[in-house]
Amino acid sequence: MIDRYYYEKKLWNEGYNRVMGLDEVGRGCLCGPVVAAGVILKPESRLHSAIRDSKTVSLSLRKKLADEIKSTALFYAINECTPAEIDTLNILNASIEAMLRCAESKGANPDFLLVDGNRFTNTIVPHQCIVKGDNKSVSIAAASILAKVHRDEFMVKIHEEYPQYGWNKNVGYPTKKHFEGLERFGYTEHHRKSFKLRTDKEISK
C-alpha cells in the first residue's frame, strides 16, 4: 500500500512547515491552457484516502475532493499558461512556468516544493521532482485534482461556444471528434498553433 504522506512526513520531520505540492494538467491537449495547482497541507492534516492521481478519480468524486482540499489546505493556488504562451515557450516550459506561478503566488511562501515529473527550474526554494508524484505524494495528488477540476470546467464552458470539437467530453485532448472538428471547421483562438492540428485553416467567426 502506498503511503502518500511519505515525502510530506519526512519533510515535516526535518522542520519544513510549508511544503507545496505542484502538478499541472493539459500538456497533451490540442487546445486550452495548461493549468497548474500548488497545495500546501497542514502538517497535522489527513485528507480523504481517495486523494490520488486525478486521472484515476471519477468526475463526481474529483469535485468533492477539490472542495475538501480547498477547505482544509493551509494554502492553494491555481495558475495557467495560455495557448499563446504555450506556442511561445513550448509546452514543457509553459508547464513549468504555470507551476512556478503557483509557488510564487502572493501568500504562498513555500519552504519546500514537491514537483510532479522529472523537470523543473532553478529556484531559491529547495525542491524535489518525483516521477508519477501525483500517485506518490498527497500534496501533489491534491494539486493534480485542483488543476484538473479547474481546467475541465473551463473546457466545458468554452465548449458551449464551439460545440463542434467535443470539448465537453475530450476537454481538448486529441480524439477522433476533435480532429473531425478541426478538419471541417479549422482551428480556434483556443488552439495551440504549435501543435499538430492537422489543419491550416482558422475558423471564421
Q: What is the pTM of this model?
A: 0.95
**Neighbour count for residue 135 (Cβ, 10 Å):** 18
Burial bucket for residue 19 (CB in 10 Å: 0-12, 13-18, 19+) = buried
Taking only Cα atoms into account, the Rg of the chain, rounded to an integer number of angstroms, comes to 18
Answer yes or no: is pLDDT of 107 > 70.
yes
pLDDT in tens, 53-102: 788 888 899 999 999 999 999 999 999 999 999 999 999 999 999 999 99
Largest CA distance in the chain: 58
What the block records as the C-alpha cell of 170 is 475530450
The sheet carrying 127-130 orders its strands as: 75-81, 34-40, 19-25, 112-116, 127-130
- Contact status, residue 36 vs residue 80, Cβ threshold 8 Å: yes
The domain spans of the chain are 6-152
Average model confidence (pLDDT) for the chain? 94
Task: Kindly give the pairing relationship between strand 19-25 and strand 75-81.
Answer: unpaired
Q: Which residue has the cell 489543419?
A: 199
Give the chain's count of helices (H) and strands (E): 7, 5
Provide the pLDDT for residue 205: 56
149's grid cell = 477540476
Query: Band of the pLDDT at 52, cuts 50, 70, 90?
Result: confident
Question: pLDDT digits over 157-184, tens only?
Answer: 999 999 999 999 999 999 999 999 999 9
Residues 5-22, mean pLDDT to the nearest whole number: 96
Grid cell of 38 as nine digits: 500548488
Q: Classify domain 6-152 at the CATH class level.
A: alpha beta
In the block, which residue shows the cell 479549422? Answer: 186
CA distance 26 to 83: 11
